[in-house]
Copies of this chain bind each other. A is one copy, B any other.
Amino acid sequence: MKPIFSITNSVAHSSARTGILHTDHGDVSTPCFIPVGTYGAVKTQSSEEIAELPSRILLSNTYHLYLRPGIEILTNAGGLHKFMNWDGTILTDSGGFQIFSLEGFRKVTEDGVTFRSHLDGSEHHFTPEKIVDIQRIIGSDFMMMLDVCPPGDADRKTWVNALKTTTNWAKRCMKQYKDTEPIYGYQQILIPIVQGGTDIELRKRSAAELCELEADAYAIGGLAVGEPKTDMLETVECMDAFLPKDKPRYLMGVGTPEDLVNSVSMGVDMFDCVLPTRNARNGQLFTFTGKINIRNSKYKTDFSPIDNNGFSYMSETYTKAYLHHLFKTEEILGYRIATQHNLRFYISLMNTIQKEIRKGSFTPWAKSFISHYIN
């Protein structure tokens, strides 16, 4: 098996590094941000528009795809790439986080987790093995293991139990992964998820147990789930020492532009988050100096371009006043423009980070960015 990750640059007195993820659907430069397409579509965007982004990777969700369109359709389609007409890299989350966020019935045993669909209340059972099997059918380039993800305000006992089950499930996931072959002829990488809440000792234990599996990449899960921001960043920081240096680290569900810059300096290589897409649909636009909300009445008569930084055609073509109008009239085009802008901002931010790392100026740049960025 060819190596899936190569580190290209690192930074003195920082854990920041650039690298390349090698997958059978192309290379992805890191640190990278992965747009979220839960149901096999990045909300409001076409696959062609996502393909035009400078970074050709997207995320989808095993739990959601399992419910809709379902495994039979994905099997008949020949996997998610063909189904959604996307030939870039796909990472699928297992859906563990979603299942543990569901309200109402859910039962965890050593075997797996039983839950009710949020759509029709039907009962389903996921095991570590089944999650691997489903992702084989989806055909994602990066598959996530099934984990137990407690809320941010859980007590230590809950974290300990979640960690224990997560490790056991990870072993079973890895066995199933090794016992099965990709269906569509291209390589799939299975990623374990470190748990342990914001308890450093537990994080160390979880990482150590998962490192024994010798996976090709490691994910940091169970953060950005309601815990204080400083606790989150302290936890990310400690992970750097607990995870192998030569393997990509993926911080799940994070975060704001500041979180990304801070986490890169702590050695994180991959991120995904709904912020740029979800907030776009509420009128929130990200810029290099902070967020704005285009619904604000001050934009009603602002005929300047949405953004002049050159990373989105739509941002340069349409004015703030027009976008304000589209939001006021609830035109779908408004959600499209804002989404395209935010995705391109996030990916442009990652490109800037990569460039600063290569130039050796990442640390002062990061300090300056964070001091100027208004949340």
Contact = CB atoms under 8 A, between A and B. Distances in A.
Interface string A348-372: 0000000000000000000000000
For chain A, give the interface size range: 35 or more
Nearest to A318: B85
A13 B301 CA distance: 55
A49 B43 CA distance: 18
Interface string A111-130: 00000000000000000000
Prevailing SS type, chain A contact patch: helix
A322 interface: yes
A336 B77 CA distance: 22
Contacts of A69: 300, 321, 324-325, 328
Contacts of A238: none
Interface in A55-102: 68-69, 72-73, 76-77, 83-85
Copies of this subunit: 2
Contacts of A44: 332-333, 336
A39 B331 contact: yes
A15 interface: no
A76 B41 contact: no
B333 A41 contact: yes
A318 B303 CA distance: 36
Nearest to A42: B333
B303 A76 contact: yes
A114 to B, nearest CB: 24
Interface of A: 39-41, 43-48, 68-69, 72-73, 76-77, 83-85, 300-301, 303, 314, 317-319, 321-322, 324-326, 328-329, 331-333, 335-337
Given A47-B317, A76-B301, 20 more contacts: A39-B325, A39-B329, A43-B332, A44-B333, A45-B333, A46-B337, A69-B321, A69-B324, A69-B328, A73-B300, A73-B301, A76-B303, A77-B321, A77-B322, A83-B319, A83-B321, A83-B322, A85-B317, A332-B332, A332-B336
